[in-house]
Amino acid sequence: MIKKIFRVADMHCSMCVMRLEEIEDELNGIKKIKASYRHQQMEVEYDPALVSEEQIIAAVKERGYTALAA
């Protein structure tokens, strides 16, 4: 498992956090997502053998946000 922080500067409310944390249920290999609009970041714990950083970034983009690996 890898823990990685992604900067998501376009989050602005708790609904944004909930939308991003839903990715956990949709992408196989993600163990946990903890997002914070206050800190403009999301911490993702995932298995790199099952899901890539690029797939996580793409899933964030599908929801209308921009994620950058920190």
**Residue 62 pLDDT:** 96
**Calpha distance 53→63 (Å, rounded):** 16
Q: Which top CATH class is 2-69?
A: alpha beta
- For the chain, the structural domain boundaries read 2-69
- pTM value is 0.90
**Residue 6 pLDDT:** 97
With b meaning 16 or more CB within 10 Å and e meaning fewer, what string describes 35-65? Answer: bebeeebbebebeeeebeeebbbebbeeeeb
CA-based nearest residue to 65, from 1, 25, 29, 22: 22
**Residue 70 pLDDT:** 81
Residue 37 has pLDDT above 90, yes or no: yes
